[in-house]
Each structure stands twice: as C-alpha cells, then as structure tokens.
Structure 1
Amino acid sequence: MSFGPPPSVWTQSALAADQTRKRRRSRLLGAAAVVTAAALGLGGWLLSSAGDDRSQARPRTFAAAQSPDDIREPVEKNPVSPEGQVAVEYKESGLAKTVKGDPRYAPGTWATDKILAKGIADRIVGLTTAAKGPEKAWTLQLDGHICATSKHITADGRTAVVVQPKKPAGTKSDVCDEVVFFDVDTGRKLWQAKMPSATSAFVTDTNLTLVKGVVAVAWGEGSVAYDMRNGKQLWNSTSVSACEDNGFAGGRALLVVERCGPSSNSTYRVEKLDPRTGRTLWTYKVADGVEDVYLPSSDPPVIAVAAGDSLVTDLITLDGDGRHLATISMNGYDPKCGDRDFGAGYFGVVEYCDGVVVGRTQVYVVSKDNTELGQAANWIVAFDLKTGKTGRKFDGRSSEPLTPIQVSGDDLLVFRRSYDEVEPSAVVRWDPRTGKQTPFLLFGLPEDDQGDLADIAQSDILVAHGRVFFAKRELTADDKHPTYPVLAVLGIAGAAPGH
C-alpha cells in the first residue's frame, strides 16, 4: 500500500529535485543524554501611509495581554527543573515503501499547553504533551496532502494549512487550492475554503501565513485572504500583472514579496499590506541584481536578499514606514534561508531563515560552522536593527554548535547540540544585554535519530509552554528494519519536582 500521493507534478517535482540538489548533511556522531551593501542601499522606500512606528517600540520583558486572534508571541518561563524528560514520543508506521528521495512528507508543527500537532502526509495528528502517558489525542483527516503550512498559531491555539484535495477525473490533480483552518487543542476543523483561480498553486510555490484575524495565501500568480472567524474571503489578487505575489510574511504585520518582470531578469519589491483589505501601506524597492528575497520578520521589517548569488548575502532592516535603516552583510554568517527540505522550496519558504531570529531591537544571526579543533563550533551575534552594528556574541563550544530558535521577551532561546557522550544537549536562555546564559532544558537525543532531529534544515525545533519539540519534516523507512515504526516527534519537558 502506498502512503504517498499518486504520480503528479507534486511527486515528480519532488523526485527530480531530490536527484539534482545536494543534501546538507550533519555529522552523525553519537550522543547520549552581486552587489555591495552600498548598492543594496539604492533600494528604497516608495510609498508610505501615516502611522506609528511599531518597530521602534520599547522592548517588552513580559508579554502583553493578547486577544484570541493575535498571533502568539511566547514569553517562556524556565521549567521548575532544567533536567529534561520525555513528554512526547510519536513514531509513524507504514513506511516500508518509502526511501530517501521519496519520503512521506511531514510539514507543520504547532504547540499549545496541551497538544503538539504534527502534519503528516494527508492528515494532522494531535499528541498530548503531559509527561505521563503521552498518546495521540486526535487525528484530523484532510481531503489530500498538505501543500503549505505556517509557523504561526493564534493566542487561543488555531492555525491553518493548504491542502491538495483529490480532484474529479479530467481536472488537474496536483493543484493546491484548499485552505483548512483548525483548532490545535481539539483537532476540530473550523472551516475550509477553495482558493479562487488557483490553477497554478503547487507545493513548490504556495505560501501560507497568519496575521491577526486573517489567513493569507500566495501562489505566485495570485493571492487570497480569509477572515479567521468564519472563512469569509476578504480580498484576492488574481489579475494579470507585471508583478506577482511571491509570498507573504505574517505575525504582527503582513508583508508581501513581489517579483516583477521575466524570471530571467526579475526585480523585487516588498510591500506592507492592510491585512483586511489588501491595500498597500508602503513599498520598498529592492535593488536590481538580487536573485531571491526572504522575509524573516514582518515587524520589525527585515528583508534577506541574495544579491548576485543564490545564497543570502545581506539583511536589510527597515523602520515602521518601510524606510531603509541598515544593511548587514552576511559574510561569515549562515542565515539558512531556503535551506529547508534541502532547498526544494516546498510548503512555503518566504518566512523561513532558520539561522536568523528577529527581536524588537536586535536581529540574531548564527555564524558559519567553524572546523578548527578546540575552538567554538559556531557562534551567534546580535546586530542592532537601527544601525546594523554588532552587539554581544554568544560563543558555542567545541563540537557543540548553536542554533537560534526564538525570542522570549528580551531573551533569545538557543539550542546547543552536544556530540559528547557525557555533556547533554540543551536549550539555553541568553540575555543579549548582559551576556548571561541560563539553562532552560538539558537532555539527550536518541543516537539513531539525532542527526535528523538536531538539524533545523530537516526538523522543526520549537520551544512552547516550557517544552522543546523536535519534529522531522521527512519520514523514511529504516534501511535495516523497513517495517519498524520511525520516530517522527520528540518532546522534552522539565522533570517534575521530586524526580
């Protein structure tokens, strides 16, 4: 029995991409417990509306009260004990016929205080996060395979996916034109909607995001936005134009990357939109010569550009009105934009730069790997959003590389992987104002799975409600034991008092 989709543009493009791209592999060692910055500055602000500059807001140590429709902004409290214990461990069965290059895809990972939800093929599973007796709480069966996901979740635990539903005979079976909005705690489908004129929406180019009260989807030749409350369409853009919506970034605001002109000579611009009307509030024109554009943050606005190269060369920071603040060279750094799923471009890539985390006043970027023996494996540097100047540096350890995960108030949560059989892996809280490091959770990763779990190019890594979750985005059968279930999700929580 095959668990993948029938042969289509979806699967065939996946196989072709797997055969041609080079995989970025991490070391599988055991463990127990273009243009210059000056040229880029030529890109600029074109149009502005009056309004306050939210990116200049005073840093918040504690999360402000959020309405149910707000996108969750976590401020994590340290567990009572940093000693980690397994809270979730889910293994996927029926993978015997999957192989490298033709996996069972598992896009999307979301967490509430009760549930860890994971997208797998054509369904979403909800797993309880209690330390005692973890088990599957619910399964939401979809009309087809997941094509796009968002990292965002509302304050009250709702999120969305785009699905490739089965089509009647004689129609395109590989089009991704169904949006499903669901409750993560219960697994209940709240509404679903058919995207208008989405005949060119495929897994390789469909991008989904959430902003307060709104679900927005772009697929290059069109875009659409829905009201979270009832699934009512708010606006759409499917008319023929010289520019197309390459993808959205959501969260506190809604930004869109627009690509203009022929693919052989494209130019880009970034626009801030009113989420409920689609009206343009300001436009920033990216300088010519840029190969690709990513949006690691909508507010404060941060743009990652690949200038004269396929890899990101610079970060551009803007103020709240879309005016240029600073250009930060990525020479020596590894922003990891477009690295997910080995560069295939599946499930929406515009918002994902896994080596970059953006706070209210600083952006944190991980360095390239350092191979010198006895030295830090890599490090994280804080840059000021207004000036682009470097701030404090968080050094990794020898053979213990760092991955920035997310901000928590004014702090940064960092995953530190250990290859040492004595030293555990850890999530560490780092205060960039003082340089202080505080253990958040200490734990080991399973030796046979840590190569995939600990690689953010292959797995979702997130911290939520005092727990850290590792969730693979591709699942394949074990070479030696193809009928064995395969670890898909691992969640770690702090040990309860007295343990």
Structure 2
Amino acid sequence: MTQPPPPPNQPPGPPPNQPPAGGYGAPPPQPPQNPAYGHPQAPQPGQGPGYGYPQTPPPAPAQNPAYGYPTQPVQPQTVQPQPVPPRSGGNGGMFNRTQWQIIAAAAVAIVLIIGGGVGYSVVKGDDTKNEAKNGTGGTSGGAKDGPAAADGPGKEKAPAKVASKVAFQLPEPDRDDLMAVYGSWVTDKAYVKPGANSVVGYDVAKGTPLWTTDLPGQVCGASRHVTEDNKTAILFEATKRKAPKFYEKCTEVGVIDLNTGKLLWSTSVKGDGDQKAEFTEVTLSGNTVAAGGGLRGGGAFNLKTGAVLWKPKVDAQQCRDLGYGGGKALVAVRTCGEYGDQTTTTIQPLNPDNGTPLSSFKMPAGVDDARIVSSDPLVVAADVGDTGTFGISDFFSVDANTGKQLAKISAPGDTYEARCAASDGVEGCQFVVVGNGRLYLPTAQRFDERTNEIVSFDLATGKAAGGRADAGKGYTSLPLRMDGGNIIAYKTGPYDKGGQVVSINGATFKQTVLMENPGERAIRDVEAGFTTSGSEFRYAAGRLFISERLLGKPRDDDPSFGKKYLAVAFSTAD
C-alpha cells in the first residue's frame, strides 16, 4: 500500500549524554523480491538492527574462517553508551506512527481498537504496580491462580540458571551476489541451515559441522514444518548461479532427513510446454509435500516417495492455487482472475492425498491474497482493501468443516506488531500464534516506556479474551510459537541488556524466563545485528538460534557495516 508522507515536524530526540532508549528504532529492511519472480533486491544501506541507537560492531577476527566452521564467540568490550540521534519521521521506522499518534500515545492511556465491538486498554506503567511481577520486572495480567492453558502443559522448562552464553557463531558463506538462505531447523543433535548450494547440519551445542548435503543449486524455499522423525521439505535451483545475472529458476522439490542430511528424493514437474514449473514456497502436512507460488498454480508430492499427487494448473476462470498452509491440515489459498488483477480469493481445506477441497471460504472483496496463520484451527490473515500495515488489517477464524466464518478480528498494523510480508508466501506471517482457542498478538510498542504486551482474542467470538503479558520496561515481546498451551516469546532487550526468551501461560499469562542473553556491548551488537523482520528465531531445550534469511552482496570494502554472521546460538547449558 502507499505509505503516507512523513509528518512535517518530528519531536526532537533525547538530550545529549542520555542513555539510548530501548526498542527497535531503525527502519526495517525492505522485503526482498522473491527469486522466482526476478532478481532479488539488495537491502538498503543503513538499514541495520536498530535497537534505537547506532551499533558499534565487535572486532572482526584477523582471518575469516572457512565457511562451515563456527567462530569463537565474541568477547565482551567496555563501550560507553552512545547518545540517541533524533528519531526519523515517516513510516520508515519499525513502529510506524504519524506525529499525532506519537503525541497521543504519550498523552492517553487507552487505545480503542475497533474489533468485535471490544476496546483493549493499553495500560501505562504506573497502572501496573499492583500486578504480579515476573523475573525481569515485567508484569503479567490475567487470573493469578486461573486454570492451566487449554492445550496442556509445555515441554520447555526453566533451567537452573537462565543466564545464557554465546555457544557459537556461524560465518556467512562465500558468495558473489545476493543469496537467500531460507529455513532453519533444530533436532536433538543438530542445528540445520542452508549454505551455499548446500544444507549443513551443525552440532547443536558446539556448532561444528556434522554433515553437509551438496545441492546442484541454491536453496530457494523451505518448509517450517518437520515430521516427527525429523524430515522436512525444501526447494532448490537446478544449477548453480553464474555471473552476470546470478539467478536461476526455483524448480526442484525435495525431502531431506535432518538427522543424517540425506536427500531422500528430489523431483520437478512440467508447467507450460516443456518448461519446468517454478515454485516460491513449500510446506508439508502428513504425507504430503505441497509447493506453491507459481503463476500456474501449485503441485503436491508424496513425502515418502516423491510421487506426484497433483500438478500446477489453471482452469477456464483463471483460478489456481497460489500456495498452501501446512501442519496439522493442508489448506490452499486459491485465486481467480488474471495475475495481478485477482477477482476472488478463496480459502480451501484440502484432502492432502488428492487435493480435493473439503470446504471453501470466500475472502471479502478487496483481498487479492491471504496468509494461513494456522491450518487447524483455521485462521487466516489478510489486508482488506489495502488498508493494513505489515500486510495485515484483519484475522479471520473459519470453521474448516463448513467454510463458514466464525469471527473477524481487526488488527491494524499501527496497533499490533504481527506482520505478514507478501514476499514470504502463504505461511509468511511472523509474531502471531494460535492455541487454546485463541489468537495471540503482540501490541505495538508503547513509546512512554518502550515496551509492549502480548494479548489474546477468542477465535469463536473475535472478542478480546482478557489478560495480557507485559514485556517489561525497555523490552519488546514477540511470540514465536506455541509449546502446548504456552507461548514461547522472544524479547528484544533495552540498550544495556540482551534479549530474553520467556514461556507465557496461555490462560493466566504468567511468565517464566527461560533465557537471558548477555548484556555486554559486543554480544548485544551481534544479537541486535539480526533484525526481527529479516531473521529466523528457533528456541528449543535451552538453546536459541537466530539466523539470516537473505544475505546481501559482500561488503568487505566497507568496515562500517561490521562483522555479520549467518547465525548465532545462545545456550543456558553449562
């Protein structure tokens, strides 16, 4: 959507020699162009992590280690905090506000959200003195002794010591141009991440390579879902990229065993004529791998054998599967009309064996695509009439059996921090999770305290479900995934502290700190070097892995960009 111009007069930044404010102040990187639709665009210079102040890079090692081997974790340095520059105006920042919204946020205590007829109260810090405190100074709203979350207890438990250390850092792979590195997975023994024309499994504790699977070309898509025996689906290019274009079509589909690194099978299907069909995203559900994103629709394959279950096709009404949401169920986002001028968008739960629709839910007029937040229960995100921010204006809860809408939840992007980037495909939503019959969303940052909350909405009624999880002053809390009935959330830290991982009870909103990252400047700079909008976060069994999704052109000749890493791992293990 077209962003409004910046307000003419921005409030001045804090006076000199004041400690930097927490939160993310720098503009996020622009969403990259998907490789299947053309050459990806480079991130804009100056779009760094933005914890609200300029980052000082840690010292780089004298020699770059060979790719595939972890570097030694950075050593803490004593660096004086830098003064905060004046905040830039317009909608380039991560927390988009017009000037009057900034003033209003500081002047009023209640923001009225038009959604289900319910107003959500954004409580200021002074109003939380009597609420239960968590381990970091944040507060937890909701019933203090209420029932456990409906989906049951989680597996993640607090360690004896929550203070973490840097376990390892993975250097960026050698490259000549932009490189997509979509996907990251964690097993009991390995952290798995795409590299240059390969997928590499690293020791989950040490970061040393366990196995490397070479591919004919670059990984260009990856499923976020994994089977119980640690198999997942990937997309990759048929040949290596070469100058001057450094681009190849994304045509190959495969399944990889994350325990051994073995590529169990790979295949492609024909699209128009003798040309291979192109894909931009892939998911899995049960024994079905479904690939979508192509102009001619999506296709599906048997997870165990690679046999084709259905091929891309477009019917007489120009209807095609845009992409698929996987997990517990398989759901298609189907559009009709000429590409770029879609007339209807329909959500269809599918029989995963043959692609037959089980029901259909027609999205409102003005929706030319949609995102699957959850396949079971079925929750869809959409930007109705191009009125939203971060690709979302509303969430829809749908009865998958009948295709009937249960509830509509209004979620304007200037009020909530969840986002659904168009370049990330049908499953591309971040920082929104579903569980316990609820939708959990992070609110936008409150500028009075540089903090936010996680709140919930009832999927049956669309109304606010009550309770909240306050991130604590200087922290911003972002939900990553469900753990039983608990929410696993990552918290960005203030200027003088590292990030945190917390477990939040989905019913009582009681918070348990699982990890607290080091506050030393050099380590904070590494952590903050991964922007929330452009990184993948994986937490499991006391380990947090943060990795890039897209690597820009090498900038060895410009030291101002600092040392960058493919991934960094934090651990609470001794």
TM-score range with shorter-chain normalisation?
A: 0.7 to 0.9
> Using the alignment, how far apart are the partners of 2:34 and 2:189 within structure 1?
37
Decide whether the 8 Å contact of 1:292 with 1:307 is kept in 2. no
Q: Distance in 2 between matches of 1:289 and 1:25?
A: 34
Aligned in 2, Cα 1:86/1:146: closer, same or farther, shift over 3 Å? Answer: same
Aligned match for 1:337, one of 420, 426, 429: 420
CA contact (8 A) 2:547 2:567 kept: yes
Q: Which residue of 2 aligns with 1:83?
A: 163
CA-CA distance at 1:224 after TM superposition: 1.6
Indicate the residue corresponding to 2:208 in structure 1. 135
Counterpart in the other structure of 2:501? 427
CA contact (8 A) 1:76 1:465 kept: yes
Is 1:409 aligned to 2:484, yes or no? yes
Partner of 1:59: 150
Greater gyration radius: 2
Question: Are residues 1:389 and 2:472 paired?
Answer: no
Deviates most, 283-292 or 474-483: 474-483
Q: By how many angstroms is 1:400 displaced?
A: 1.3
2:306 aligned with 1:231: yes
Tell me the residue number matched to 2:446. 370
Does the aligned pair in 1 maintain the 2:325–2:331 contact within 8 Å?
A: yes
Where does 1:156-305 land on structure 2 (aligned, <5 Å)? 156-166=229-239, 174-197=248-271, 199=275, 201-202=277-278, 206-218=280-292, 219-241=294-316, 242-262=318-338, 263-305=340-382
2:270/2:276 contact within 8 Å kept: no
Q: Deviations over 1:312-347 (max 9, x none)?
A: 110001124232111000131132101xxxx6x1xx
* 1:462-481 map, 5 Å: 462-476=538-552, 477=554, 480-481=558-559
Deviations 1:479-499 (A, max 9, x none): 545999742111222233xxx
Aligned match of 2:573: 495
Structure-2 residue corresponding to 1:399: 474
Instruction: Tell me by how many angstroms 1:408 deviates.
Output: 0.5
CA contact (8 A) 1:87 1:129 kept: no
In the alignment, the residues of structure 2 paired with residue 175 and residue 416 of structure 1 have an alpha-carbon distance, to the nearest angstrom, of 37
1:180 is displaced (CA, Å) by: 1.6
Matching residue's letter, 2:194:
G
Q: For structure 2, which runs of at least 5 residues remain unmatched after alignment? A: 1-32, 57-75, 78-113, 117-148
Name the CA distance, whole Å, in 1 between partners of 2:481 and 2:455. Answer: 14
1:14, CA displacement in angstroms?
Answer: 3.6
Cα displacement string for residues 109-142 of structure 1 (whole angstroms, at most 9, x for unaligned residues):
0110110110134211111012xx4301111111
Q: CA deviation at 1:441?
A: 1.0
Task: Give the AA of the match of 1:268.
Answer: T
Give deviations 1:9-63, integer Å, cap 9, x for gaps.
Answer: 94993445857x9969633646979xx979xxxxxxxxxxxxxxxxxxx933158
Q: TM-score, normalized by length of structure 1?
A: 0.79
2:428 to 336, 352, 356: 352
Distance across 2 between alignment mates of 1:483 and 1:37: 42
Paired residues, number: 434
Q: CA deviation at 1:103?
A: 2.9
User: Aligned match of 1:361 in 431, 437, 442?
Assistant: 437
Whole-angstrom distance in 2 between the partners of 1:206 and 1:138:
26
Per-residue deviation, residues 227-261 of structure 1 (Å, max 9, x unmatched) = 11121222224243421111100000000101111
Per-residue CA deviation, residues 169-223 of structure 1 (Å, 9 max, x unaligned), is 9xxx732221121111211111111123274855xx6221010111111124122
Query: Is residue 155 from structure 1 mapped to residue 238 from structure 2 by the alignment?
Result: no
Given the alignment of the two structures, is residue 107 of structure 1 paired with residue 190 of structure 2, yes or no?
no
Q: Is the 1:441–1:494 contact (alpha carbons within 8 Å) kept by the matching residues of 2?
A: yes
Question: Can you list the C-alpha shifts for 1:416-462, whole angstroms capped at 9, x where unaligned?
Answer: 111232x4421011113122111111113723333332x33111001
Match of 1:13 among 29, 38, 46: 38
Secondary structure of 2:565's aligned partner = strand
Q: Identity, % of aligned pairs?
A: 28
Partner of 1:440: 514
* Residue in structure 1 matched with residue 106 of structure 2 by the alignment: none
Equivalent residue letter for 1:79: P
CA RMSD of superposed structures (Å): 3.2
SS in 1 for 2:369: strand
1:278 partner amino acid: G
